[in-house]
Every structure is written in structure tokens, then in C-alpha cells.
Structure 1
Amino acid sequence: MNKADLLEHLKETSFEIAKGNIDDAILLHFDLVMEQYRTKPSFYKNVFKYDRLMVALSLLSFSYKDERVPLSKVKAFCYERGYMSHNSLDSYFSFFVITGNMNVRLDAEDGRQRIFQPTNAALRDTTQLVKSYLLPSQLVSPYDSRLFDIVSSADLLDVFFRGYTRLLEAEFQVGNLLPEAKWFLNRDGGHLPMLALYADTLRNGSLATGYNVSSYVEVSARLGVSKTHMQRMIKEGELQGYFKGHKRVVEISPAFIELIRRAMSIYFSVARVSLELGVDDSDMNRKSFGVCSSCGR
């Protein structure tokens, strides 16, 4: 599949997901991510900022593609994409080492290069995060039955990142496909603060009335972000026509509802297409080596 066909397939998948009962999928995703977020709120508040998340996913993608890839190659890739500055990338890599998510060593063959490897703890967390996108997407529309078994397989990350690497290299990510969402994606907590408002409206209010029952204090406390942080986000959203701020609640507009649904349909489609591509790639490798795809021999 060439780049143009891949983009068309991704857009079609996103469109089909958006047509389905996407709100149920969004609520499940939010619950699954929050379950993970609550274990290390300070860590995830940092990592879920869009550009930082893209660096983390780049590290994993490069690692699965080549376990001996030097850290400098990932740094150059992320810098060229504009995710972070050189100094910020060095600090962020150190952050992953300090938090026990990445090991770094000198290359035995070239002492000038540093080789990195995600830790088992990082891979467990990544598996949980990937599933938080894949499992909800199963609620929306049926797809290739092969994917159901892979989600619970020990090979999930290997298969997933085989496909995800292609979307990463092609820059088919929500920040590129929906740039108008970057204003909230690239803040503390990433998409979760806005998703918290949306989820509360679905569960406790009504999209018809547009009111959210949570106060700034409740949402900020739940996500470990400051009340001021939430107020600034709401104020910026007001300027763009997404909210009306009241004393204790937030009124969301139809434009915000559409923005969240579009953003999440892209997130879900990226996850699903990544798995599809990874499964297809795995099947092709089995055939090239004379391996039976059904029996594994």
C-alpha cells in the first residue's frame, strides 16, 4: 500500500468509526486511560502532552524496528519533526531513564553511540495504553477477525509497532490530520482534560443541553492538573467558540462535540490501521519463510 492509498484507507476507517456509536467507544477509552493515569498522574500528565507522547512512540517504534538503533537517530528524527529541541530531547530521554522506563548503554561495536531499550515496566504500560485505543474501536464497527486474537496476544506490541511505524514515518497522526486540535492536545494531560469534560457531559448531563456538571476543581483534582490550568484551557476554548465558561460549570458547543469526535475517530483509526498493517506484514513474513499462518509452522 503506497502513501496515498494508506492515507485514503486511514481516512475511510476514521469516517466509518465516526459514523458508529463513537460515544460509547470514547467513554470506554477514557475509563481505560484514567485507570492507568491514576497509577502515576505526575508521570502521565507529562508524557501525554502531544509532542512528548510522539517522542515516546518514536522511541518504541524505532526500538521494535531495530533493537540496536542508536538513540541519536531517534533524537534526529524527533528534532526534524519539531517535537522538541535538542536539549529538551536529551532531558526527556534522561527522564525515561530516571523513571525506570528506558535503559541506555554504549554500543559494543561503536562506543560513540548509545543504544537504548524500553524496560519491561515501560512495555507493560505501553500494552495497556495501546489496548485503551484498540478495545474501544471494537465497539464501533466490525473488522478483520484476525485482529481480535492479536489484542490479547503476547505479540501485540511487536505486531502493532510494525504497522504504526509506517503511519509515524508518513506523519499520519492526529496532530497532522487535525491540526485544529493541537491547542488542547499539547498541554498537561494531553487530550484527557478535554475528554473529561466530554465524558462528564455524556454521563451526567446532556449533549442536547451542553452543560457539564463538573467544576474546574473536580476535573483538575481528578487529573492532577491545576485549577488555573483548566481555566486557561477553557478560556482559550471560549475564544475559539468551543465553550462558554460559567461560575461552576462549562457549557460545550456543537463545535467542541464535533472536534472531540473527529479527534478520537482519528486516534482509533490510527490504532486499528496500525494493527491491520502489522498483521499483514507478519503474514507476509510467514509466507516468505514458508510458515503456515494458521499453525505457526
Structure 2
Amino acid sequence: MKTADLLEYLEETSTEMTRGNIDEAMLLHFDLIMERYRSKPFFYKNLLKYDRFMVALSLIGFGYKDEQVPLSEVKAFCQKRGYMSRNSLDAYFSFLVVSGYMNVQLHVQDGRLRCFHPTDKTLRDATPIIKSYLLPSQMIIPYDSWFPSLATSVDLLRIYARGFTRILESDFLLDKLLPEAKWILNRDGGHLPMLALYTDALRYGSLETGYKVSSYVELSQCLGVSKTHMQRMIKEGELQGYFKCDKRLIVLSPAFVELMRRAMSICFAITRVSMELGVAEEPVKNGSVDSCSLLRA
């Protein structure tokens, strides 16, 4: 698929997501990802910061594309994208090694280079995160031809990563497709503080009655972040017209609701198209998948 066609297909898929039951999909995504988040809140509130999350996905994507890709190549890619500085990347990679998420070894063909591999711990933790996007996308636009076999497949992460790398290299990601959302994504918890506000309003039925949601204290406790962190985020959003403060309560504006739906529809679309691209590249174990039925030529 050509680059221009890929962008068009992503945009079309995202639009289809918004036409479906996007709110129910967002509720499911929040519940699924919070299952992982609550188990290690300190780890996930840092991992899900947008730039750090993109570095982690870059490692997985490039690692599955070429098992001998030098770590320095991924570092250069992430630096060029502006995800993190050189020193921050070195520290982050060291953290992943010490935490048991990445193995680093001498490159087979060049001893001056280092190659890397995800560990079993990475596979156990990364796969549920991918499913937290894939299952909601399947709720909106079912793909019965390949989804059942992949939902429980150990190959899911590999297939996703190979497709996602195409999107990553084309730079058709959330920060480019919806740059106005970046301010709220690149902080502790990534998109979860934003999503917590939205899902809280949905569950209390207040999207139709003024968009009031829970207090700072309740939300900060749910996410394992400080009350000050939430207050700063809301204050910044208030200046941009997304929130209003009503005593101890937060009031969401229609502009925030629209931003949230667009952001999550793009996230779901990226995951869905990544899977389609990955499936199109190779047969699934339980049977070959006709790529023409999934993607346009």
C-alpha cells in the first residue's frame, strides 16, 4: 500500500469508528487498560506518556521487523522524531534492561553494535495493552475472517508490530493526525487522565447534563497520580476551552468530548490497520488470509 493510500485508509477507518458505538468502545478500552495499570501504576503512568510509549512501540516494531537491528538505529530514529533526548533514551533503555523488559547483546556481524530482543515479560505485558485497543475496535467494526484466531494467538504481538512499523515509519500517528491532543497525552498516565474524565462522565450519565465529573481527589486516586497533577492538567485544559472548574468538580465542554472521540477513534484505527497490514504480510497459523479482502490494492 502506498503512503498516500495508507493515510487515506487510516482516516477512513477512523471516521468509521466515530460512526459506530465509540463511547462503549472507549469504556471497554479504559476498563481493559486499567486492569494492567492497577497492577503496576508507577510503571504504567510513566510508560503511557506519549513520547515514552512511542519509544517502547518503536523498539517492538523495529525488533520484530529485523531481529538484528542495532539499538543505535532505534535510538537515532526516536531522536529524529523528537520523542526523547539522547541522554533520556540511554537512561530509558537502561531502565528497560534492568526491569527485565529488554535483552541487549553484541551484534552478530559487528561487535561495535548492540542488538536487542524483547523478553517474555515484555510479551506478557505488551499483548494485553494491544488487545485493549484491538478488542474495542472489533466491537465497532468486526473482522470475523481473522480476529477469532488472533485474539488468543501468541503471534498477535508480532503481527501487530510488523503492521504498526509501516504506520510508524510513515509518521501517521496520533500526534500528527490530531496535534491538538498532544498537550494532554505527554504527561503521567498518557491518555488515561483524559479518558478517566470522559468515562466518568459517561458512567454517571452527565454527558447530556452539563458534563460534570468526579473531583480531583477521586480521579487522582483512581490513576495513582497526585492531585496537583490533575489540577495542572485541568487548568491547562481550561485555558484551551476544554474544561470549566465548578468548586471541586470538573465540567467537560462539548469541545473536549469531540476531542476525546476523535483521539480514541484514531488510536483504534491505528491498531486495527496495523493488524490488517501485519496479517496481509503473512498467513495466520489457522489459515491463510486474503489480504485483498482486508486492504485496498
Q: Does 2:48 correspond to 1:48?
A: yes
> What is the TM-score with the length of structure 1 in the denominator?
0.94
Q: Residues of 1 paired with 2:242 and 2:209: CA distance? A: 14
SS in 2 for 1:38: helix
Q: In structure 2, what residue type is equivalent to 1:175?
A: D
Q: What is the letter of the counterpart of residue 12 of structure 2?
A: E
Report the Cα distance in structure 1 between the residues aligned to 2:65 and 2:137, rounded to whole angstroms. Answer: 25
Secondary structure class of the residue paired with 1:241 = coil
Deviations 1:203-229 (A, max 9, x none): 013211133341101111111111011
Return 5+ residue gaps in structure 1 as ranges: 287-291
Residues 59-113 of structure 1: CA deviation (Å, up to 9, x unaligned):
0001101111111000000001110111111011011112111111222432211
Does 1:82 pair with 2:82?
yes
Where does residue 134 of structure 2 map in the other structure?
134
- Residue matched to 1:233: 233
Q: Secondary structure at the match of 1:154?
A: coil
Using the alignment, how far apart are the partners of 1:81 and 1:130 within structure 2?
22
Residues in 2 aligned to 1:100 and 1:11: alpha-carbon distance in whole angstroms: 37
Which residue number corresponds to residue 34 of structure 2?
34
The answer (yes or no) to whether the contact 1:46–1:52 under 8 Å persists in 2 is yes
**What is the aligned length?**
289
Paired letter, 1:158:
R
Q: Structure 1 residues 210 and 100, CA, compared in 2 at 3 Å: closer, same or farther?
A: farther
Judge conservation of contact 1:33–1:132 (CA < 8 Å) in 2: yes
Contact 1:205–1:212 (Cα < 8 Å) also in 2: no
The aligned residue for residue 293 of structure 1 is 288
Q: Distance in 2 between matches of 1:237 and 1:258?
A: 14
Cα contact 2:70–2:113 (8 A) shared by 1:
yes
What's 1:195 paired with? 195
Task: Specify the SS of the correspondent of 1:208.
Answer: coil
**Partner of 1:130: helix, strand, or coil?**
helix
Paired position in structure 1 for 2:150: 150
Aligned to 2:281: 281
For the residues of structure 2 that align with 1:63 and 1:39, how far apart are their CA atoms? 26
1:1-297 → structure 2 map (5 Å cutoff): 1-143=1-143, 145-283=145-283, 293=288
Distance of 1:212 and 1:148 partners within structure 2: 38
Q: Could you tell me how far apart the structure 1 residues matched to 2:213 and 2:253 are?
A: 15
Aligned CA RMSD, in angstroms, stands at 1.6
The unaligned stretches of length 5 or more in structure 2 are 290-297
1:92-136 C-alpha deviation (Å, 9 max, x unpaired): 101111211111122243221111111101111110000000001
Distance (Å, rounded) in 1 between the aligned partners of 2:193 and 2:138: 24
CA deviation map 1:145-191 (0-9, x unaligned): 22332222121111111111100000011111000000000011000
Comparing 103-112 with 41-50, greater Cα deviation is found at 103-112
